[in-house]
Chain A
Amino acid sequence: MAAILTNETILSVRNLRINYGSKEVLKGIDLEIKRGQVIGYIGPNGAGKSTTIKILLGLEESYVGTVELFGQDISQGDVTYKRRIGYVPETAEIYDHLTASEYLSFVGGLYGMEEEDIDVKAQKMMALFGLGDVYHSRISSLSKGMRQKVLIIASLIHNPDLVILDEPINGLDANSVTVFKEILAQLAKRGKTIFYSSHIMDVVEKISDRIILLSDGKIAADGSFEELRSQHSEGSLEEIFTELTGFNDHKDIAYAFVSAIEGGKA
């Protein structure tokens, strides 16, 4: 196996800002991600995680600042950089009138792969995910977990160098999650970069070798789990998360909520 250049910069973001109307969603983000890293990208709802991902994928172009992927400035209108990215969208958008086989061959085709190539790969990947017998079934007839697996396969089929995952394990059962986590670890070992955005803290804690916490459009923490632990409370990522986002009244809110259910005696 060829030696992996761990020093290669995959993603570089400088002073990234974006507004929606009068609302400032990202307030100046700086990021430098090296090859082979597994990044856990976390933050409260509305912190700007999805917006960051949209920008990386060229879905959102009204930003200020520079974004470079694989050393290429993505604002120049050249879309070839997308060839090296795989993406699982949070919204799980998929053409579900198609069969899994049709969808995968379509997506592979968009990445410029050859038909037979896709079919061979897709069949193997489907079978390994336990979906061998639904390869020719319509996606609309699959369960939520099965669909999610199809989306995961679709994001990896073209052997991307950077995999952007937005809540990728939605609906997967515990065993599948174990397999998936192992897949991510092995991909990273082979020099793939993983950008993993999620609200599920214990998964992020386990798989990431670097955690970036976004809060209110700014980076609130950046480092390995161990580093975050030594700087903040000695607990789980969940506890660090609540501490960093300044959230400590969960008990009061829960109490008031339960009271409201029972008739507003709070």
Chain B
Amino acid sequence: MNAILKVIDRFRWLFEKAGIEYEIMRKILEVKFKIDSRRVPTLYQFAKKPKKEGNYFFKSLWLYILFGLIATPFAAMGGNYIYQMTILFSFIFFILFTAMLADYSSVLLDIRDRVILHTKPIKEKTISAAKTVHVSVYMFFITIAFAAIPLIVGTLVHGPGFAVIFVIELILVNFLTVFITALIYLAVLRFFDGEKLKDFINYVQIAVTIGMTVGYQIVVRSFEIVNFHVALTVKWWHYLLPPFWYAAPYEWFLNGRGNRDYVILTILGLVVPLVALFLYTKSMRIFERSLQKLAFEGGKSRKTIRLGLKNAYNLICFTKEERMFFRFAGRMMKKERNFKLRVYPALGFSLIFPFVFLFNDIRVTDGKGLGGGWLTIYACLLMIPSVVLMLNFSGKYKGAWVFKTAPLNDFSSIFKGTLKAFLVKLFLPIYILLSLIYLWLFGMSVFLNLVAIFITAVIYTLISFKVTNEGLPFSKPMEEAKEGGIKLFLLILGIGIFVAAHYKVSQFSYGTAVYTLLLAILAVWLWRKFMNVPREKIF
């Protein structure tokens, strides 16, 4: 990280010109990077030899390199820039915005810093600048990791002009991501306070993440294949979608199509980030002041209305302890903001993904693909592994000591209650909604199949739990939640086995019925087997 600071040193004049106390800012950054490098992931915590200090962030970059590799074909394709670069920049925006919201918002919204930094004789400007640089460094590395391979391949194919445009655009995109996020937060901070503010920030984060996915679908569907050529007719709403801004310059400069549409798009891509930067520097002070609102724990407590579900829960949970943990886990899932931020977008995806697959299915097969189309509902199971993994973590992980001091003989009820809460409170509502739509689309004949898929979801939950469990639920700090990338990847691939098996058996008469019965037996057996987590893992 010292190398990074040395690079930042080169821009010292720039910061000083902006009235920032450079030496102080550098000190803050140095400490921040040091702290980041010392967050040891749980996996290594009990290793006999203490691992060398290293920023865990850099170890998570390979995932972005992998994404970049997947996106590379879009950089390497022939010269249909408006299509390929729009897709590529959609990827980039998606990755940067989700990283920004989920992982680095905490840097911008940190109020813990206030007590330590704002009580010292430092200008607010300097603290804001340190925060911004801190976030930007991480965004910069994520961008590099993702864009390096597309950049090299694209340059080899399209020549140095591609490289020049790409690099300038990446810088602009970074500006746009960081400053737009900050400005959104600023707007929210101005209009709300107390608990409502924290909730609202949470909803904004979730909405942006889901919006990006939907936006991507719109982008992809903007293109029509006409005579083996992907064509785009620019409509007014394309001006609202930033990926188009960054695809247009390639058409203009590399394909020589400097028509009005592409010129306007290019100018938007240049001007909007600079305006965002300008607005951000102007409003930094207001931003820092508004942050104080986050520190204030206010608001009257609201009485929650109890529905008559108490008896219904007795049917799901058989012991008193299990019911207790069911309720507790349900509340954590509903109220813990860090958890919601990571999990709710995934829930949104599982509602959307089946239809994405369904539409593709219809498109590819010219509308005739409805035979096995109901299988696309499996797409909503894809979120199960990552949500089950998240059950290990919490922003308030330290509270987990209560489990250990409580007089519990049987820890399995903790896990049973928690997993049942996940299935009933998070998964089931989505699944029932999807099922109703699928029954309407495909008719009652798929009913048994939908039951089989629900039992598969239970089994899949259990397997995910077995693979990702790290002890008591909600007992690990949220910062460590980035591990497990490869486990999740394998688990998600694993769903393919279930889909294939189900598709096969559904072609025999009574195949589905027998299959459903077998799944049910497997589910009960696994439920008994996997819930007995060894005590060593808990303590």
**Contact yes or no, B121 A98, CB < 8 A:** no
Across the interface, do B118 and A58 meet the contact criterion of CB distance under 8 Å?
yes
Nearest to B116 among chain A residues (CB) is A93
Among B39, B112, B120, B292, chain A packs the most CB atoms within 10 A around the CB of: B120
Residues of B within 8 A of A112 (CB): 121
The answer to whether A79 touches B115 (Cβ under 8 A) is no
CB-contact partner of A95 in B31, B124, B292, B296, under 8 A? B31
A57 adjacent to B119 (CB under 8 Å): yes
Given A61-B289, A89-B115, answer yes or no on A97-B39 (Cβ-Cβ < 8 Å).
yes
Interface members, chain B 402-452 (any A CB < 8 Å): none
Enumerate B101-126 residues with CB–CB distance to A below 8 Å: 112, 114-124
**Contacts A106-B27, A110-B122; A97 near B117 (Cβ below 8 A):** no
List chain A residues, Cβ under 8 A from B115.
59, 89, 91, 93
Closest to A86 in B: B119
- Quick check: is B190 within 8 A (CB to CB) of the other chain? no
B257 close to A (CB within 8 Å)? no
Q: Does A180 touch B at the CB level, under 8 Å?
A: no
Partner of A80, one of B27, B34, B35, B121: B121
Chain B residues whose CB sits within 8 angstroms of the CB of A94 once the complex forms: 116
Which residues of the partner chain A approach B31 to less than 8 Å between Cβ atoms? 95, 98, 102, 106
Min CB–CB distance B270 → chain A (angstroms): 34
**A98 partner, pick from B35, B112, B114, beta carbons under 8 A:** B35
B112 contact set on A, CB distance < 8 A: 93
Asked if A129 is at the interface of the complex by the 8 Å CB criterion, the answer is: no
Contact B27–A95 (Cβ < 8 Å): no
The total of chain B residues at the interface (CB under 8 A) is 26
| Shortest CB distance B52–A (Å) | 15
**Chain B positions within 8 Å of A109 at CB level:** 24, 27
Q: Check A82/B39 contact, CB under 8 A, given A20-B296, A21-B194.
A: no
Q: Which of B162-180 contact A (CB under 8 A)?
A: none
Q: Which of A87, A109, A111 has the most CB of B within 10 A?
A: A109
Q: Which of B34, B114, B120, B289 contacts A111 (CB 8 A)?
A: B120
Please tell me if A228 contacts chain B, counting CB pairs below 8 Å.
Answer: no
The answer to whether B193 touches A21, judged by C-beta atoms less than 8 angstroms apart, is yes
Residues of chain A contacted by B117 (CB below 8 angstroms)? 110
Query: Is A82 a contact of B119 with CB atoms below 8 Å?
Result: yes
**A81, A82, A106, A110: which has the most chain B beta carbons within 10 Å?**
A110
Report which A residues bind B (CB closer than 8 A).
Answer: 20-21, 23, 57-62, 79-83, 85, 87, 89, 91, 93-95, 97-98, 102, 106-107, 109-112, 138
Query: Hey, which bits of chain B sit against chain A, CB under 8 A?
Result: 24, 27-28, 31, 34-35, 38-39, 112, 114-124, 193-194, 289, 292, 296, 298
In the A-B complex, the 5 residue pairs with the smallest Cβ-Cβ separation, listed nearest first, are: A82-B121, A83-B121, A110-B120, A97-B38, A93-B115
